[in-house]
Amino acid sequence: MKRSYFISAVLTAIPLFTWMKIKATHVLQTVKGFKVPAGQARFGVHYNMKGVTLNRLDIKISGKDTDGRLAVFEQTSLTYKGGPPLHIHLNQDEWFYVLEGKYRFQVGDDLYDMHAGDTIFLPRQVPHAFIQLTEKASVIVSYCPAGRMEDFFAVTSQWAIAPTKEAIAGVFADHEMKVVGPPLKAD
């Protein structure tokens, strides 16, 4: 093959490969709107966490819908005076909107009491935790990017017995998080 033909073929192929890459990216996200009815989960699976908390999480918008850019869950909180350990998300920002009940959040060194209608933003790399302060409580929680949170909730739903602190820390680490302290106390 002559050099000029080779160069011409390569230069002609570059736009094609660029288009294919862009097209492949868009194939990985949902291109049509959808509705998730109240009380249901995006793919019909309710994650019933065990060990960290006993909360139920329903995917409302999956990372599969957004090419990993966003995941949104509805969390029905079933752990009165409980919550996750102080932890950081290595690569994700997190956002909560309180639907019902009362929570206390720690973000860095700051504490926030949260009620229905309140919103809180938890930046990546900042230690945070929360505790449920009422018997009934629920939130909408989102992760940006989605990261491995759907898988995290799937794993913690499969625990049959209370895990050790080491097992909890290991599952957090496997899902791009790091435990950096104990859970908050209600008092």
pLDDT at 127 over 70: yes
Q: Do both 76 and 2 map to the same domain?
A: no
Q: Nearest-CA neighbor of 55 among 130, 165, 166?
A: 130
| pLDDT tens track for 53-106 | 889 999 999 999 999 999 999 999 999 999 999 999 999 999 999 999 999 999
Whether residues 87 and 13 fall in one domain = no
Tell me whether residue 37 is in a domain: no
21 lies in which domain range? 1-31
Has residue 36 been placed in a domain? no
Please indicate, yes or no, whether residues 152 and 176 belong to a single structural domain of this protein.
Answer: yes
Q: What's the number of domains the chain is made of?
A: 2
**Do both 87 and 12 map to the same domain?**
no
Domain presence at residue 77: yes
C-beta atoms surrounding 128 within 10 Å = 21
Residue 139 domain-assigned?
A: yes
146 and 178 fall within a common domain: yes
**Same-domain check for residues 18 and 50:** no
19 and 82: one domain?
Answer: no
Is 40 contained in some domain?
no
* Cα separations in angstroms, 29 against 26, 68, 69, 155: 6, 8, 10, 24
Residues 16 and 99 in one domain: no
Q: Could you report the per-residue pLDDT of 139-176, keeping only the tens digit for each?
A: 999 999 999 999 999 999 998 888 899 999 999 999 99
3-state secondary structure of 98: strand
Q: What is the pLDDT of residue 160?
A: 84
